[in-house]
Every structure is written in C-alpha cells, then in structure tokens.
Structure 1
C-alpha cells in the first residue's frame, strides 16, 4: 500500500478551503482532530447561530452604553438555544493544515416545531441562513448537552496558547459561557461576565472593534461582517449566516487586516479581551502608545522551552526556517554575568556562565513569527570554577539542559549563520559572545579582540545591537521586542556586521564598528577561505558531538 502523502498546507485565503459539516456520528472524532490541529494552528475564529427566546422585542437602535449593550446581549442569550457553532483555524502566518482541515461547523439539535409558526428566529435560520431545520430536529444532529460536555473537557477552554477571533463576538461567547457553566442565565453584572470571559478565553480579539472605531482603517466601516469582508476583498466560502462560513470569513478578515497593516498588527495588545459593545473601547492615546509596549500584541505567539527531552522534536522545524525567515532576535540570560566593559573580562566570564537560557524569535521580512513560537533553549554550563553547573534542575516538561554543542549543530545545519541575508539582533553583545564560543566549540574565546571580531562578523555578517532597555524580565518577551524593533528599524539600532548591497541596501559600508569592550575596531570582511575553514570547524564539532551520542 502506498504511503499517505502529508497534508498540503495552504493559505487561509485560498479559495479551495472547505468547511466540514459535522453531525452527531462524527462529532467526537472531529472535535478531537480540531483540538490536535489547534496545538500548531492557534488562531481560532468562532461564530454561532442561535434561536433567541420568542418574547424578546427587536430593537433597531444600538445601545449607547456598555451596560445597555450587556442588557441587550443577555436578552439574546438567556432562554435562547444554540443551533450551530463554527470554528476556523490557522497559524500566525495565516496558513492552514490543508484545504479540508481549516473550518468545522457543528450542527446541534434544535426542534423548530416547538416554536410558534411565526417565529422570527426560525424564519431567519430557514430563509436567511438556509439551515436544514428538519436535519437539526432529527437524531442526525448533535445533542447540545453532549457538544457542551465535549467542549468543556477539551483543550479549547482557558487555553492561553489560543488566540480567539470573532466579529461582534459577545453573543457567541455569551452562549458558550452560559451553556458550559450550566447556569440558566448570564450573570446580572457585566463586570462578572467579563471576568468569566477572560478566564475562559484569555486571548481574544473582536474585529468589529477594529472596523467600527477606525483604529486600523482609514475610515470606519459600519455594518456587519459581510460589509467588512466586501470592503477588504475577502471571499466567502459557504452560506452567509452559517456558523462555519462566518467563522472562516472572520479569520480571513483578521488575516487581511494584519497583513495589510503591519504597523497596526504590532499594536493591537490593547484590544485583547475587548468585546464590541459590552467593553469600554481603549482610548486613542493608549492605542498610539501600545506600539512601544510589549504585551499581547504578538497574537498567537507562545513560548516553547527546549531541553534534552524535546530538543530533537523541534530540531528539524527550526533548521528548515532559513533563509526564508531572515530576521532573528536572540536574548541571553546567564546564572553568572558576562561583563562587557573589557574584552578580557568577557573572555574570562564566558567560561563560567552557569546554566544558560537563550531565546530565539525568528520571523520573515514581513514580521510573521515562525510557527507562532519563541524558542527558549535551556543550556548546560560551567560555574566560574570550571565545574558543571548544578543549578539546572530536571524539568518534567523539557528535561535536563542541553549541551551547547547541540545548539551549535542546529545553527550550523540551519544555514542561519554565515549568511548576510539573515539579520541577527540582540539587546546585548553578551548573546553573541556566548554564541561565538558555542559555535567554535572552544574552551574560551580567541586571545585577541581582532580574532574574536573576525569570528563574530563571519558567523553573523548582518548583526545589530538594539539599545532598548527592556522593561520585562521575561526572556521570550525581550526577544519579541527585539524582533519587533529589528523589523521597524528603530533609531537605537547599532549596525555591527557587514551587510552586502545585495542583501538589503540599507547599509552599504564594507567595514564594521563594535562599540563594546571599551574600543572601536574596524574590521575588513574575511576571505572566502576563512569562511570555509570556519564552516569546516563547525561541521567537525557537530560530527564529534553526534558520534558521542
């Protein structure tokens, strides 16, 4: 039997993306598959279709306050029935696993005959959404209690790795929260509801906030999801007002907004957890200032800690990124400080750093973070006396620290070094001091500053130091902020490595100046022979390590 070919990843905007229509016989299997994919495709759009209670009077006037919005929402949710729930997924690069694993539409049991003949909700579901209400009333449909039990016990709820996307999502989240909690009604207090919402959905964006308040567009776009989709040129798949189709359109609108407006994409943190209507929108000043803060702006990005237990599992994934991903931010945390006041101090201190944490944030030139991850390597080190450090305790999730030779092997095989097309940046020269030592597999740095500089500029031809003054002690957050500033080209950026004219054209100098260790040294580019010699050294070190394993 021929092997099954791996799924073909496509863009979420691809016209061939299909929606899975899920009924009772496949419900558990399909939800399990959705949850497995979400681990790697953590942007999840959600929409629901429902039948509200019959005694609710319709209003054509939009409430003017958040409390009035919440009162109206409670009227829609309390006493209403869920009919459909749709999910659409992608990764932070807006790629889906394949064309048939991008959107799911769960069809719930709903008996329209129990409603009055002139029911407005039934008429909408039948005539506007074009639902098969006979199928929804049959045993083919998923029992609501079973669906909610599956959702409640799944990895979707209270998962900080997931970024939820909705359009006017307060009612959708309201139905899920009310049903999952088992309470007959939503909390009477709006603030209590918002607390419950943030616990269940730690990262969530309502794109109606973006379109209605004009925060990301040149002008406001009034109206519903279809109006926004038309304005952005987003193509609809499936029927309007069906949950799977609306979830997919919401995700596509989010993708277009983030890709067309990268400056806004890096400043959406103040919209996290803000639901249209029921939340007070952030002030314009707060939104302007958000570009200079590191919070949850990097939607869908989460941290992967690497140790001996899981290093091999991610080796191939990271090694395959270059040179397509050409922006790398590296940040370092050591048990013992590497002093940078003089080269001799740095040369001595790098021998005894203790255990090390090194964070890598990698993106393409458009700022799309690779796989939505920041990798934090836990590395074995020696104390200043030359003894193996005992500070790195065994961690149940990622195991003991890895040998620095394994990191050197990864960087050598990845083609991320020795390539002027790849920009490397850090907030501290200590990161490159450590990496040069790891890559050369030597006991210490070269004896002279010029030799060190030669190695550094060869391994990292396009190298930057960004004087940022990171406000956060979180190493992964620091790496993300460094990456963001590398992409935007902040004024605090100091160019260190050679950048050929073919690489970017931003800087065409063939000399480099390093403002560290109390000196300023100009270095000519090394010859091709020296590069080949260093590559040979790295490969030889990698083979030695591999043989020891």
Structure 2
C-alpha cells in the first residue's frame, strides 16, 4: 500500500517520514530545514518564526528505498515522529462487479518489503533516540506491530503494550490521552481539537495519513505550550488512549484481557 511522507524543506526536495521536531542546533541534511519546535524555548522571550512550507509526497514501491535512505540520514536531527495510518482499501469487494486494480494494488509497497526497511530506518528499536507523537493510536500501533512481527498480535493487552514499548520505546505520546489532563477544555476528534487550539492544517486534507500526522504534531506542540509548559509532558508518555495500562507495567492484573486490534 502507498505511504505518505511529510517533510519541512527549503526548496522542492526529497522529504521526511511523518512530521518531525528538532533535536539540537546542528546542520540538517542537505536541502532540508528544521521545524521550529524546541521544548525549552517554546514561546519564551522571542517571536515564533514561520515554519517553512511542507510538501507531502506519495511513496511507492519504486521509490520507497530512496525515501528511507533520506529518513536514515535525517533521524539524528529529527527525533520526534508523528504517526498516523490509513487503510487504503476495502475488506470485501462486491461479487457482482469485476475487481478493478487500484494504484495501491499496482504500485503499493508490500508489507514484506516495508518491515525490514522500518527495522533498519532508525525509527524503531532506537533505544530512546526517537519519540512518537500520535492521536488515538492503539490501532495504528497494532498495525505496525503486526507488520514488524510478521504474525498475529498477542491475545493480551499487556503483551501487546510490551511489544509497543520494545519497538517504539518509552516516549510514546497519545494526544487523545493527554487531552484528559487539560482541565476539560479539549474533547472530540483531531479536527475539533485543532480548531479549539486554533491550529490550522499545514498541508493535505483530513483522513490522509501524512496530513493527519502533521496536524497531530502541531496540536501536540500547541497543547504542550498551553497546558504542559510548566511541568512537562513526560508524566503522560507510554499510555495509549483506550488502553490505559502503562507500558511500564506488563504484569498488571488486566493483562489477561483479550485485545481486539483489527477494524
């Protein structure tokens, strides 16, 4: 299936996977610009600089390896990964009509090819080098965990969350979970929350993986500035909305609950 990648760049360029934030002040890869998103200096004593324009580019089987090469080169400068997944097809096709091949069918990246590229990208199993920002992401992580394992998901919640931690680390932020700690001022889906925070969609449209992941990143940044600047966001990492079992507690008593991870 096709994947949509996003990047902030100075001129028409190759781009980054998902949306990313800056790690430290050092030269970025050639032709690429940092996204202004420092945690410590957010809104403190200076005027926010406008973000460079964002380009969304489709990635297919013929160019996926080149895109992952760019990601590997940029990952040291962009340690924040905002992620969203979209299913590009249907579960059942009408039997009375011939099946028409879509662009995804003809040119999409096969799961068997995508999994090793992810494993070698520096995005997963990074030992704390990457922080993940998501919105209501239990299913998103379920898709990725199943892809990376190449087999069915475990049947218990705790086993699944332990795998999320193994692949994606401790610093996983689910904006939907964080909304519960904003004084009751934020509720609903991503579009509603973005409107409440006066965050505009930088590129694309809703229900596109790249566009939604970028909007999730901008919403996370705005929430951090308004609600978590004093005490930070670290207390809310490692919890997925709807699966409120801390990933640091794999032996929690709820571990025998069955996990439904397909939709």
Normalising by the residue count of structure 2, what TM-score does the alignment of the two structures yield?
0.68
Counterpart position of 1:117: 94
1:21 and 2:80 matched? no
Q: CA deviation at 1:115?
A: 2.3
**Which has the larger share of strand?**
1
8 Å contact 1:15–1:235 — kept in the other structure?
A: no
Q: CA deviation at 1:39?
A: 1.1
- Partner in structure 2 of residue 242 of structure 1: 208
Q: Can you list the C-alpha shifts for 1:502-544, whole angstroms capped at 9, x where unaligned?
A: xxxxxxxxxxxxxxxxxxxxxxxxxxxxxxxxxxxxxxxxxxx
Match of 2:195 in 1: 230
CA gap 1:156/1:209 in 2 versus in 1, 3 angstroms: same
Q: Which residue of structure 2 aligns with residue 45 of structure 1?
A: 82
Compare CA radii of gyration and give the structure with the larger one: 1
2:223 aligned with 1:267? no
Per the TM alignment, residue 181 of structure 1 is displaced from its structure 2 partner at its CA by 0.5
What is the aligned partner in structure 2 of residue 171 from structure 1?
A: 139
Q: Which ranges in structure 2 are unaligned for 5 or more consecutive residues?
A: 1-29, 38-49, 96-100, 248-263
Query: Structure 1: how far apart are the matches of 2:185 and 2:94?
Result: 39
The answer (yes or no) to whether the contact 2:224–2:232 under 8 Å persists in 1 is: no
Q: How large is the Cα RMSD of the aligned pairs?
A: 2.6
**Aligned counterparts, 1:369-384, within 5 A:** none
Is the partner of 1:48 in helix, strand or coil?
Answer: coil
Could you tell me how far 1:172 is from its partner in structure 2?
Answer: 0.5
Is 1:200 aligned with 2:177?
A: no
Q: Which residue of 1 aligns with 2:217?
A: 251
**CA drift at 1:201:** 1.2
For the pair 1:152 / 2:119, whether they are aligned, the reply is yes
Cα distance, 1:150 vs structure 2: 1.1
Counterparts in 2 of 1:37 and 1:189: CA distance versus 1, 3 Å: same
> Where do 1:436-515 residues align within 5 Å?
none
CA distance in 2, matches of 1:146, 1:247: 22
Query: How many angstroms does 1:11 deviate by?
Result: 3.7
Counterpart contact for 1:168–1:206, Cα < 8 Å: yes
Deviation at 1:10, TM superposition (A): 4.8
Give the equivalent residue in structure 1 for 2:104: 136
**1:194 shift after superposition:** 1.1
Once the two structures are TM-superposed, the CA of residue 16 in structure 1 deviates from its matched residue by 2.2
Distance in 2 separating the partners of 1:281 and 1:240: 30
Is residue 138–residue 241 contact of structure 2 (8 Å, CA) maintained in 1?
A: yes
Q: 2:242 aligns with which of 266, 273, 277?
A: 277
Partner Cα distance (2:61, 2:83) in 1: 19
* Separation in 1, partners of 2:53, 2:83: 20
Decide whether the 8 Å contact of 1:205 with 1:274 is kept in 2. Answer: yes
SS at match of 1:259: helix
Cα deviation digits, residues 330-357 of structure 1 (max 9, x gap): xxxxxxxxxxxxxxxxxxxxxxxxxxxx
Q: CA-to-partner distance for each residue in 1:467-498, whole Å, 9 max, x for gaps? A: xxxxxxxxxxxxxxxxxxxxxxxxxxxxxxxx
Provide, for residues 162-201 of structure 1, a one-character-per-residue CA deviation record: whole Å limited to 9, x for no partner. Answer: 0100001111011110121111x21111111111111111
User: Of 170, 177, 189, which residue of structure 2 is paired with 1:209?
Assistant: 177
Q: What do residues 76-102 of structure 1 show as CA deviations (whole Å, max 9, x unaligned)?
A: xxxxxxx4xxxxxxxxxxxxxxxxxxx
Q: Is the 8 A contact 2:35 2:52 kept in 1?
A: no
Residue pairs, 1:364-443, within 5 angstroms: none
Q: Please give the residue correspondences for 1:342-357 in structure 2 after superposition, counting only pairs within 5 Å.
A: none
- Give the direction of change, closer, same or farther, for the CA distance of 1:259–1:222 in structure 2 (3 Å limit): closer
- The gaps in structure 1 that reach 5 residues or longer are 51-82, 84-109, 119-132, 283-549
Aligned with 2:53: secondary structure?
coil
Q: How far off its partner does 1:230 sit?
A: 1.1
Q: Larger RCO: Structure 1 or Structure 2 (Cα < 8 Å, ≥ 6 residues apart)?
A: 2
2:85–2:140: 8 Å Cα contact kept in structure 1? yes
Task: Please list the CA deviations of residues 356-385 of structure 1 after superposition, one character each: whole Å capped at 9, or x if unmatched.
Answer: xxxxxxxxxxxxxxxxxxxxxxxxxxxxxx
Measured in 1, the distance between the counterparts of 2:36 and 2:94 equals 43
Instruction: Work out the CA distance in 2 between the residues paired with 1:269 and 1:11.
Output: 20
- Asked if 2 retains the 8 angstrom alpha-carbon contact of 1:204 and 1:274, the reply is yes
Alignment deviations for residues 312-342 of structure 1 (CA, whole Å, 9 cap, x no partner):
xxxxxxxxxxxxxxxxxxxxxxxxxxxxxxx
Q: Secondary structure at the match of 1:21?
A: strand
